[in-house]
Chain A
Amino acid sequence: MIFNIPFIAVSALILIGLYAVIFRRNLIKMVIGITLIESGVNLFLITLGYRENSVAPIFTNLPSGTIVPEGMSFPVPQALTLTSIVIGVAVLALMLSLIIHIYRHYGTLDAREIGGREE
């Protein structure tokens, strides 16, 4: 069980982000929770493509003694993670600009009052 520490860290990040989205009322705290879920998914994508005792798949100045296809990690999950990070930045920018607009119109940042239900 000690060898699965990255996967336990991924599930901890996703669960904390999900708790912040469900159980909090402030809009900014919900946005922080969505960002935490995004970071957990990116970490999961990278740790899927790691071989034991391997180097990066770059041929400039390789350390001496690496076997060429078997001593390098997979390049495809790293490329997918790059795309996912940029999409996360785009979604975060749109969410924050909409929150500024909502605050100017309603005067409050409470999700229950804006939705219309007051408990």
Chain B
Amino acid sequence: MSKRNISAVVFFMIIAVFFVFSALMMHPFGVPEETDMDDEIIKEAQNETGTNNGVTSVVFDYRGFDTLGEATVLFTAVAGVIMVFRRLKQ
């Protein structure tokens, strides 16, 4: 049992105790904190965006900037994978 193994076990035990305690002290499942933003989005989604789907109107209209960032991450990943396997043509 070297010093590295003992410190790894102690670190893991601290994080495990922290996770189990915070899982038992959360709010009950099904009674969330009351917000006004989601109720306003559900009431105004059909009038302002014209769709019947609440989730798509949030993804593409109310929070379209996050979808732009996600498309950039996907493009960067595809570019990185193709670049790793490219052979130099000599």
Contact = CB atoms under 8 A, between A and B. Distances in A.
Q: Is the interface of A mostly helix, strand, loop or mixed?
A: helix
Given A87-B70, A93-B81, A19 B76 contact: no
A18 B15 contact: yes
A103 interface: no
Q: How large is the interface on B (under 10, 10 to 19, 20 to 34, 35 or more residues)?
A: 35 or more
B73 to A, nearest CB: 5
B8 interface: yes
A8 B29 CA distance: 11
Contact of B73 (A51, A68, A87): A87
A59 B15 CA distance: 43
A72 B8 contact: no
Nearest to A101: B84
A3 B59 CA distance: 30
A28 B22 CA distance: 30
Given A18-B15, A72-B54, A94 B81 contact: yes
A94 B83 CA distance: 11
A50 B26 contact: no
A59 B30 contact: no
Interface string A4-41: 11111011001100110011000000000000000000
Which 8 pairs across A and B sit closest by C-beta, in order of nearness? A57-B54, A90-B77, A52-B30, A75-B54, A11-B19, A74-B38, A7-B23, A11-B23
Interface of A: 1, 3-8, 10-11, 14-15, 18-19, 22-23, 47-52, 56-60, 68-70, 72, 74-76, 78-80, 82-83, 86-87, 89-91, 93-94, 97-98, 101, 119
10 contacts: A4-B28, A7-B23, A7-B26, A15-B15, A50-B32, A52-B31, A60-B53, A74-B38, A75-B54, A119-B2
